[in-house]
Amino acid sequence: MTPAEELVWKLVDQSISPEEFDELQELLEGSSSLRRYYQDCLETKQVLSSIASSKRHRSRVLMDLSKRTLLLSRQHIWTGLAGLLCGVLGTTLVQSAVTSKMESLSRKVIPLLSDPFEDPSETSRQGFPREKGIWSHQRQNSLASGGAIQGEHALKIVAEEGQPLGSAYYLVDLQDFPSLAEFTSRKIQVSGQYCSDAGEPKAHYSIRIAAFAESPKEVGPIWADESELFTRKLSHVGRSCFKDEKNTEWTVLSSEMEIPEGTRTLVIGLGAGSGERNGSLSTHYLDDVSVRLLLHNEESAPSDELF
């Protein structure tokens, strides 16, 4: 922390002397970054006050360490009981059972979606989904040109002329999974297989995952407004790959993202197209889409401590 930043914090804490105040005025007048820092410190103070005065927020801030303590206590109890029951000879066997039990307590995988797109009659509405659990956009199930990966059908994605990608979207509402709060590490993992119509010179395939604090119904307008999207998303990852015309095989693409605290809705976007803004109409296929939640409790102290 620089001396100027120290003066800013003194002002924020109302412990600045008149001489220091005069010095800070000079510094603030001459530095836009220090003025920004001053604004940020006031903001931090306000948000800290808000968190400290909310019982819910306080418990969330203090939560995960107490969970670790509970987890370790259980481990100690199990280990102690094991020793008493089985004595020295049985200890090795029981220890492995304990480890297995603890492993199941600290890790969990929740499959959210495994879609082979085998119902050709199933279509969905245009545009971004307004509710959770359904695919949307210009999708329609169709027989893939090179044969589907699973079953006979695949999801057809058409990238319109002038559009770099056509995308299918899917929303997950985390309110449906209250047990998530029990885990310190929560990830979403998405994978899918892509291919393109014979004759497409090249293709760009992508997976996007984004997290929002808002409900599924509220995410649509945010997604449509780039500036809102920029400020409101809690987290976002994107993964892409490119395929040239020589490659006619199905391409596997996967991506995962740590789910931030406070996430209500996850948006999954699977896209395919030429990848060029002036691209011509192109047809692509998607199959064997899988979405999972990977949950994990860390038993040790956090490795990414700030201090």
Partner 1 sequence: MELTSAQPKMRIYLAKLLANSSSTDDVLQEANKVIWTKRADWDPTTPFLKWGYRICYFQAKAFLRDQQRDKLVFREELLDLLASEVPKEAPLQKLEETLILCLRKLDLAKRKLVLNHYDPDVSFSSLALEQGITPNALSQKLRRIRHRLRQCMESSLSPHSTP
Positions touching partner 1 (CB under 8 A) are 1, 5-6, 9-16, 18, 21, 25, 28-29, 32, 35-53, 57-58, 60-62, 64-65, 213, 230-232, 234-237, 257, 260-262, 301-302, 304-307
Question: Nearer Cβ to partner 1, position 61 or 93?
Answer: 61
In the complex, the smallest distance separating the C-beta of residue 79 from partner 1, rounded to whole angstroms, is 24
Query: 87 vs 238, which CB is nearer to partner 1?
Result: 238
Looking at the Cβ atoms of 94 and 237, the one nearer to partner 1 is 237
Cα distance between residue 240 and residue 269, in whole Å: 12
Encoded tokens for 228: 């809102």
At closest approach, how far in Å is the CB of 219 from partner 1? 14
Quick one: 244 or 304, whose CB is closer to partner 1? 304
Number of Cβ within a 10 Å radius of residue 184: 17
Please give the structure tokens belonging to residue 265.
Answer: 């809705």
Report in angstroms how near the CB of residue 271 gets to partner 1 at its nearest: 17
CB nearer partner 1, residue 60 or residue 202: 60
CA 165 – CA 125 distance, rounded (Å): 18
Q: What is the distance between the alpha carbons of residues 168 and 139, in angstroms, rounded to a whole number?
A: 7
Residue closer to partner 1, measured from CB, 28 or 110: 28
Structure tokens at 51: 């968190």
**Contact predicate 254/189, CB 8 Å:** yes
302 three-state secondary structure: coil
Q: Which CB, 82 or 213, lies closer to partner 1? A: 213
Q: Report, in Å, the least distance between residue 52 CB and partner 1.
A: 4
Long-range contacts of 138-147 (CB under 8 A, 24+ apart): 138/166, 139/168, 141/117, 142/285, 144/195, 144/285, 144/287, 145/195, 145/197, 145/198, 145/285, 146/195, 146/198, 146/248, 146/250
| Shortest Å, Cβ 262 to partner 1 | 4
Q: Tell me how far apart the alpha carbons of residues 202 and 225 are, in angstroms, rounded to a whole number.
A: 30
Cα–Cα nearest to 42, from 21, 12, 18: 12
Name which of 38 and 250 has its Cβ closer to partner 1. 38
CA-closest candidate to residue 2, choices 74, 14, 23, 19: 23
Least spacing, CB of residue 283 vs partner 1, in Å? 30
Q: How far is the CB of 18 from partner 1 (least distance, A)?
A: 5
CB of 35 to partner 1, least distance (A): 6
